Structure 1
């Protein structure tokens, strides 16, 4: 288990979900499945072997959300991402 995937090291509790998502960067969009989700990050399942950058926007159509994020771990077809902090209002 990766440290970032260990519940002891997470900043916020994650909840198991099964939502369609899209990894968006530079005009490209790669489909993914959001497997768990929290206020600070998510675990994504990728079926495509295509390369994508360490920083991208995760879009979840079912709730209309878009979050800038960066990869904190990779394992075969799964990646863990942390959401970028929103700038202070």
Structure 2
């Protein structure tokens, strides 16, 4: 499979939160780079196109670039 990412992603297994509209959804960060991440979620339904990912004390503005059954891919609106 061809790699189309700008930055190499690193496998991780970290707890995170998807924050939007005053609420939050738990997620697991499966891989991360300086430009984006893949997140495991219970369901991608109801998760907006833009939100803040909170992990390791960082608040990272994100934009969803793809969705699968229980995983979403995001790009960071600014570098972490």
Scaled by the length of structure 2, the TM-score of the pair is 0.90
The answer to whether the Cα contact below 8 Å between 2:9 and 2:33 also exists between their aligned partners in 1 is: yes
Bigger helix share = 1
Looking at secondary structure, tell me which structure has more strand per residue: 2
Question: For residue 78 of structure 1, what is the aligned residue in structure 2?
Answer: 71
Q: Do structure 1's residue 56 and structure 2's residue 51 form an aligned pair? A: yes
Cα 1:80–1:55 change in 2 (3 A) is: same
Unaligned runs of 5+ in 1: 1-5
Asked whether the equivalents of residues 7 and 13 of structure 1 are also in contact (C-alpha less than 8 Å), the reply is: no
Deviation string for 1:10-65 (max 9, x for gaps)?
Answer: 010000000000000010100000000000000000014651210000000xx211
Task: Provide runs of 4+ in structure 1 moved above 6 Å.
Answer: none
| Contact 1:18–1:33 (CA under 8 A) maintained in structure 2 | yes
- Aligned-residue RMSD, C-alpha: 1.6
Larger Rg: 1
Normalising by structure 1, we get a TM-score of 0.82
Structure 2: gaps of 5 or more residues: none
The equivalent of 1:40 in structure 2 is 35
